[in-house]
Structure 1
């Protein structure tokens, strides 16, 4: 008993606690093991046991992968970032780990809501949940007062963010909340209390209003990003107090005013980006920022000169201030220290010579100085820029010879020297330009023969040499350019014949060699070019007959005028659309074209034959009219789905050669043949007696004789009552001939309705194949070909017509698919033909929700760039397989917001946006197209590429 009493007295609480601690040092609490296993049970992993292979009962928790314990054996850190993990997070288990100070689960695929249990992690100092797919709002977390690091960037959270929770987190050094779909809110003033912040990332999280003046109190800041928000007002002057700043990005907002005085105090600044705002005034304040490596000022309203001091900056490698109002020269010493990686000063009013040393060390990949007033020649130093990819100096006043080596730079993809005063030849060095895709030299004084070595530049897609002084023969080897899609050589002095090998350029869609001195015949083999859509050989000395093989081409433009052709015009080319392109050839004849002499000999017998034929035709017409009357009487007895077709007058206008009459079409307008419904009428599938299938769009128009319209039917029937949709569609489609635009055979109109007769496309629309019950698996190759074909159709509408056509309702349901899965642009009911010299304004908001460009919200100006935006949405549908509007995107958000919200995540995470049915080995190719889609859907119309450029980018993204 005595000994026991002594033992109990010796085992004091302190000694017991020490022994207990020693026990714990060898083995953590069993409860912590169970908490970790509970967390593991809710997590899914795509790489098997690589992460959780050590998480077994045979191991101590402190030996688990990603787990770190403190000296007392308690779990203090969990680091499983980038572990390919999914599922949900059991915060109730993790926050039971009382010593947990670091929780890093970023760059995974966790989903679900972040639960209220997070606030129990009261000892956390480091929390990283960014780069995941959570949903719902962020719970209140004001009791996590020990946090020094908080990253929720691109985590998927949305709705109202608990900004007030930040007020208690005064120890925070890093705060990253950007790229989330928060509800719009003012700049959170709670952030201004976090005086220890060195990193603040609030880009793309719907912050509106002004940047508060107190931002200057965060004097420890080194990294400040507030871009892609709704910020207004001026940049506060006290931002100049942040002298530790190395990065300042506030691009893509609505900021106004001048660069504030004091910004020049930020001498540690390395990256400055205030682009895409409404800032103005000069930039002299920036001349003190001598450590700048990247300066982005583009798309503002800055003016004045570029400070000469920029030429002395030792680290400047990225320099972009396009789309402003700058004047004067570019500092001649710019880039002379280390050389630039890229420069873009396009679309200003700059003048003077091109600085000679910007390509020092051969690191420059892009030089863009287009649309200014630069003078002088291209410095010889640029002939050695081996890394150069894009060289754009078009629309200036440059002159002299182009350095020979520039033509053959190995990585060059585009050379645009057009609209200058360059002289001399294209050097033979061009044979070494194996990456060159686009060569634009129009409107210069270049001369000499086109070197045969140009055929060795095997990546060429577009050659445009119009309006120069080139001479000699076209190279016979030009047929080696298998990727060549556009060849424009008009307005030169080329002579000799058209090379037979041109027919080997199997990708050609556009050929213009007008206004030269070509002679000889048109090679018959040109008729075999599968995609040729435009052929202009006018104003040459060509002769012979027009080859019948040209009839097999699907031409929208044919111009053979002002040559020496003779003989009959092939029947399929004898259509009014081509009549102007055949004039100026006195030797041509035609039996059908007006103002062309007939091909048959003129005489008594032939006159009799013609008379007999005309009589027969007249008799046939009388018979047809009689039959039509009988048919119309019978038709009145039928009940159609909508209302009876009036039968007293029909007017048929054909736009292609047809082998049917209106009776066959009208017979097919029955309810059982309806295949689609629209706001202006139904679409019917009509099968002709010969078996040919057609699609007929039936549009009911206003009936002026109906009661209640306040007008007399006897008066108003004399006028044409057709719907605006009908007029737009006919005006657009009747003159268009392109392989990727739906073919309109004819129109049939009466007093109260109109029928548009199209080719029938059996595979329905792209929407059907992607989203409807008719959805079918499509390989990436098929999706790519649909994207490229549809882009080519829109490119033709924008750039290939005499007057550009703006579709105004580009969407996947208006892209039809033929039996070979080739796309056609369809439904031109909202189309607008751009009038020369007129504005493109409309008082109608046209388009479909989810596809409409954002400028519709603040302007009625319609441009081709609105179609580009809509097409970008279609590309996103093709890549992701998602509809433009899905509930998962969040309230009032669409696919563009969703993609853009994820574009700053890691490349691996971005790949997850690609439709899961696309095989893994094609996802990289799909990501290229998704990148093009994001360019098409930028907010500022000016920044979107043209459809011509979209086609070129898609051609470069061909599946590997």
Structure 2
């Protein structure tokens, strides 16, 4: 204790002498500890010095006879400051629990003087530095929990001296080195939790752990482990829970280990690099096995019958492997099975005929396999099934009628199979289902009126079937419906007028049916509509002018109908990425915005349309002249053909060496993805060094003003480094094909548009829409920051979140961007935000071939990379969410992700440290009007912290992020200032 602090304590004690003469010694020690702590929430307000003992104080328990303090339990109390060593002067203290506070600084070695402690829990605080070696001097300590702090360095080798320790939990710290083998000497251990520590030096599981003969739980997830599972683990006969997930272990699962762990309850081995088959023998000895998780590995062979016969087996997770063969029939006899996740393998054959008849199945996911046969009618026999996912298999036959009685279902995905027959009427009306997918089957019948009971339905996907009849009027009662896709069926009748009540509807696709009547003019109520596709039906009447009032509409296809009348001028209010009115009976003038060559294909096949688009409205007189002079053109074409052949031959011999000596543009390799109104030659001509507006590691960006007045941005990529044999050195570093493959298929208002591209091997160009306001980074980290007021920043956050949500949740194959940062979020003239730069983006290919491939390098930018991504190299949308959380913190703080101001920290850790020190004023950007938008800014700040959680599972999905941001923007401020339930939602979207 420093001298000034000592004086403060003395003066404090003297000032209270008149009122504390009756307070016992333990009470005085507690008051001294309180003096060293910050207590903004007044959690210790009833620690009253006038009491004779502290036994009635918050969090304090005493010995009934001696009134000595034996227990201090103050979780979630908002306490901060260094560890109060005066607590160690409590001579009878055996229980000390201070989790989920903001205690900081290093853990002092003086804690070793708390010699009476049996239980010490300091988890979820902000301690840093090394764990003191002297901690093992606590002779009676049985439980030590230091999880979720910032401890660094090595785990002290002196921990092997613990004599009575039963629980050691060090989850989620910053340890370096490797897991010390000396921990194997703590023979009293029952629970060893070291998960989510990215030990920098890769190492194996210490074989010495086989000496922990009393161990019941071993949790080593995400510890950078390599090598095989040691044989010595066979000695752990009391082990109930084994989690080796998220490592780089290899080899097979040792049969000697599995057969010896006769009392094991849970095994988790996912996200490793195991190879080989599941063991054929020994599994029958695991008589107490309840949960087996070997998912996300490289396991091969079949699923052992011995495993499926285990009587206590409740959860079997083997997804993302290379397992083959059929499921053992014995699985149907399992009475305790409640979770069966086998997706993304190559399993085949029929599902066990009685599956679900004896077990209370809750989740069944066998998607992306090769299963055949019928769906077992008994699958929901016990009435507990919540999720049924069977997409991308070869199931046949009818959907069992019994599924219509399975009222517990929340998610049903049966798409891309060979199912036939009529959809059970009651299946349409399941009250708790929010996703019903039946796409690409051979289902018939009509949509039942029972659908009115599906009040929770959000997404209805039934395209690619043989459904007929009209859309029932009762569909208008589905107030939560957001997506309705029923294309490529035989639906008839009209769009029910009741559908205009669906104000949550964002996507309506009814193309390729036989729907007739008029498009309802009340469509103006579809304020959230993003896509409207009614192509190739039998609609008549006028195009509703109300479509022009839909603020989010960016995809409109009404082609192939019998629509008549004029095109409403109000459609010019839309910002459309796709627009098609072709092959109708429209007449009149084309709205000026669309009366150009760019939109010519949008209006063809409407003989009554006039306008300035060349060739769209051919003159009848010209047709007659052309007919009379046809012989002239035939002669001209013949002559031109001869000249062309002679000219091409001459050009070949004259300039055959030109390409070898001079690099030029091979325009045959030009690809366009939208209707473009500029020449490919014009782009090349206008690319001048004077027009360079940006330069990065991948290439230069040019601003090109075209002759038609449009402006585009052209990125010229640097040539990829090649090996001696001419191959690209690292294909992942060449982002051209990735960008083309990704952006060429995307249509979303918050994703930057790729107009066209060019590639001749050496020169690669990408032509984008021009974003006049640059990037978020250009504004936030320059003198222009003052132009971004809070309302603008919130709008930017919402736009960017919706773009990422589209990539993660709405693309047919989900896309992970992998380089989300403020400089890759561009701003249009109205400060609308769009996601850009997909050079390292990744389709989640595990969706297709059953393996989530690790990257050959870390993609992303320093300061934005999620902590777990740096050592797992696994593609996961949660890494995008972390990066987006950093962008949110940039918008709130106005600071860069990496800065000398933070010392060794980054922006995420700097913000956390400042909030823990109650220095909010240093966190919020000073250019913002904080007094006016205090509650909104605080909520968004908390969202940024939530998105940058060190544990991926704690980060919300992008759908949830969008909902939270919209809530901040639209919901009235509450007096309590509390966040909505969305802020505490942990979402696990497993939509394949």
TM-score class, shorter-chain normalisation, is: 0.7 to 0.9
Unmatched runs of 5 consecutive residues or more in structure 2:
1-21, 69-90, 626-671, 720-733, 758-762, 911-922, 926-933, 968-979, 981-992
Q: Tell me, what secondary structure is at the counterpart of 1:254?
A: coil
CA shift, 1:768, in A, is 5.2
1:518-533 map, 5 Å: 518-533=539-554
Partner of 2:589: 568
CA distance in 1 between counterparts of 2:29 and 2:597 reads 81
Matched, 1:822 2:816: no
Distance in 2 separating the partners of 1:583 and 1:806? 37
Change (3 A) 1:854 1:181: closer
Secondary structure, aligned partner of 2:259: helix
After TM superposition, the structure 1 stretch with the greater mean CA deviation from structure 2, 157-166 or 396-405, is: 157-166
Q: Secondary structure at the match of 1:362?
A: coil
- For the residues of structure 1 that align with 2:31 and 2:178, how far apart are their CA atoms? 31
Q: Where does residue 920 of structure 2 map in the other structure?
A: none
Determine if the alignment matches structure 1 residue 765 to structure 2 residue 776.
Answer: yes
Contact 1:39 1:90 in 2 (8 A): no
Of 268, 272, 276, which aligns to 1:257? Answer: 276
SS at match of 1:592: coil
| Matching residue of 1:270 | 290
Matching residue of 2:432: 411
Which of 175, 183, 203 is matched with 1:185 structurally? 203
Deviation at 1:760, TM superposition (A): 5.2
Shift of 1:70: 11
Give distance in 2, aligned partners of 1:143 and 1:214.
18
Question: Is the 8 Å Cα contact of residues 888 and 940 (structure 2) preserved in structure 1?
Answer: no
CA distance in 2, matches of 1:514, 1:311: 46
Question: Residue 152 of structure 2 contacts residue 174 of structure 2 at CA under 8 Å; is this kept in 1?
Answer: yes
Gaps of 5+ in 1: 1-26, 605-652, 703-723, 900-912, 939-944
TM-score by length of 1: 0.72
**Structure 1 partner of 2:213:** 195
In structure 2, distance between residues paired with 1:326 and 1:735:
31
Distance 1:687 1:127 in 2: 66
Deviation at 1:323, TM superposition (A): 0.8
Report whether the alignment pairs 1:877 with 2:886: yes
Alignment-derived partner of residue 505 in structure 2: 484
Distance 1:952 1:218 in 2: 42
The counterpart of 2:331, out of the listed 310, 316, 319, is 310
RMSD: 5.5
CA contact (8 A) 2:46 2:57 kept: no
Q: What is the aligned counterpart of 1:242 among 261, 283, 295?
A: 261
Residue of structure 1 aligned with 2:244, choices 219, 226, 235: 226
> Which 10-residue stretch deviates more, 69-78 or 94-103?
69-78
1:883 positional shift: 7.2
Whether the 8 Å CA contact 2:464–2:487 is kept in 1: the answer is yes
The structure that has the greater radius of gyration is: 1
For the structure 1 residues 317 and 828, does the alpha-carbon distance in structure 2 shift closer, same or farther, using more than 3 Å as the test? Answer: closer
| Contact 2:366 2:389 (8 Å CA) reproduced | yes
2:274 aligned counterpart, secondary structure: strand
- Summarize the Cα distance change of 1:472–1:732 in structure 2 as closer, same or farther, 3 Å threshold: same
- 2:145 maps to 128
CA distance in 2, matches of 1:315, 1:955: 37
Alignment match, 1:813: 823
Residues 475-874 of structure 1 mapped to structure 2, 5 A cutoff: 475-594=496-615, 596-597=617-618, 678=696, 739-742=749-752, 759=770, 761-762=772-773, 764-765=775-776, 769=780, 774=785, 782=795, 784-791=797-804, 810-818=820-828, 821-826=831-836, 848-849=860-861, 871-874=880-883
CA contact (8 A) 1:173 1:197 kept: yes
The more displaced of 209-218 and 732-741 is 732-741
Alignment partners' CA distance in 2, 1:833 and 1:77: 54
CA spacing shift, 1:102–1:383, aligned 2, 3 Å: same
Are the counterparts in 1 of residues 249 and 273 from structure 2 also a CA contact under 8 Å? yes
Q: Specify the SS of the correspondent of 2:300.
A: strand
**Superposition deviation, residue 178 in structure 1:** 1.3
Judged with a 3 Å threshold, the aligned counterparts in structure 2 of structure 1 residues 274 and 820 are, in CA distance, closer, same or farther, namely same
Please report how far the alpha carbon of residue 496 of structure 1 lies from its aligned counterpart in structure 2 after TM superposition: 1.3
Contact 2:160/2:183 (CA < 8 Å) preserved in 1?
no
Preserved CA contact (<8 Å) 1:739 1:793: no
Give the superposition deviation at 1:528.
2.2
The match for 2:366 is 345
Deviation of 1:683 (Å): 7.3
What is aligned with 2:484?
A: 463
Deviation at 1:435? 1.9
Q: Distance in 2 between matches of 1:571 and 1:527?
A: 15
TM-score (norm 2): 0.70
Match of 1:904 in 2: none
How far, CA to CA, are the matches of 1:221 and 1:734 in structure 2?
52
Q: Report how far residue 532 of structure 1 moved.
A: 1.7
CA distance in 2 between partners of 1:405 and 1:293 (Å): 29
Candidates 117, 130, 134, aligned match of 1:117:
134
Seen in structure 2, the aligned counterparts of structure 1 residues 600 and 542 have a Cα distance that, compared at 3 Å, is: farther
State whether residues 436 and 460 of structure 1, in contact with CA within 8 Å, keep that contact through their aligned partners in structure 2: yes
Partner of 1:50: 44
SS at match of 2:493: strand
The superposition leaves residues 13-39 of structure 1 with CA deviations (integer Å, 9 ceiling, x where unpaired) of xxxxxxxxxxxxxx9997x88887776
Q: CA 1:858 to 1:374, structure 2 compared with 1: closer, same or farther past 3 Å?
A: farther
Which residue matches 1:100?
Answer: 117
TM-aligned CA deviation for residue 270 of structure 1: 0.8
Q: Are positions 1:394 and 2:415 aligned together?
A: yes
In structure 1, the partner of 2:223 is 205
2:376 pairs with 1:355 = yes
Matched, 1:439 2:460: yes
Q: 8 Å contact 2:23–2:51 — kept in the other structure?
A: no
Residue 131 of structure 1, CA deviation: 3.1
State the secondary structure of the residue aligned to 1:454: helix
Closer/same/farther in 2, CA of residues 247 and 230 from structure 1, 3 Å limit: same
Instruction: Measure, in 2, the Cα distance between the counterparts of 1:753 and 1:329.
Output: 49
Superposed CA deviations along residues 774-808 of structure 1, whole A, max 9, x for unmatched, are: 497857954651333433775899679xxx99988
On the 8 A contact 1:45/1:85 being kept in 2, the answer is no
Please list the CA deviations of residues 154-185 of structure 1 after superposition, one character each: whole Å capped at 9, or x if unmatched: 25241125613314312212211112222221
Relative to structure 1, is the Cα distance of residues 782 and 936 closer, same or farther in structure 2, using a 3 angstrom cutoff? farther
Give the aligned partner of residue 668 of structure 2: none
Aligned-residue offset at 1:731: 12
* SS at 1:478 equivalent: helix
2:455 and 2:403 map into 1 onto residues whose CA distance is 18
Q: Specify whether residues 536 and 833 from structure 1 end up closer, same or farther in structure 2 by C-alpha distance, changes over 3 A only.
A: farther
2 CA distance for matches of 1:146 and 1:388? 51
What is residue 472 of structure 2 aligned with on the other side? 451
1:186 counterpart SS class: coil
Deviations 1:570-614 (A, max 9, x none): 33223333323322223333323335426999999xxxxxxxxxx
Structure 2 counterpart SS, 1:791: helix
Cα distance in 1 for partners of 2:130, 2:592 equals 69
Aligned counterparts of 2:879 and 2:577: Cα–Cα separation in 1: 24
Decide whether aligned partners of structure 1 residues 873 and 379 sit closer, same or farther in structure 2, where only a CA change above 3 A counts. Answer: same
Query: CA–CA distance in 1 between the matches of 2:907 and 2:810?
Result: 26
Query: Could you say which residue in structure 1 is the equivalent of 2:397?
Result: 376
Deviation at 1:319, TM superposition (A): 1.0
The Cα shift of 1:510 comes to 1.5
> What CA distance in whole angstroms lies between the structure 2 residues aligned with 1:263 and 1:341?
24
Deviation at 1:461, TM superposition (A): 1.4
Match of 1:907 in 2: none
Aligned pairs, number: 820
Q: 2: CA distance between counterparts of 1:106 and 1:90? A: 12
1:647 alignment counterpart: none
Provide the rounded CA distance (Å) in 1 between the counterparts of 2:960 and 2:114: 56
SS at match of 1:306: coil
CA distance in 2, matches of 1:540, 1:932: 53
CA shift in 2, pair 1:307/1:143, >3 Å: closer
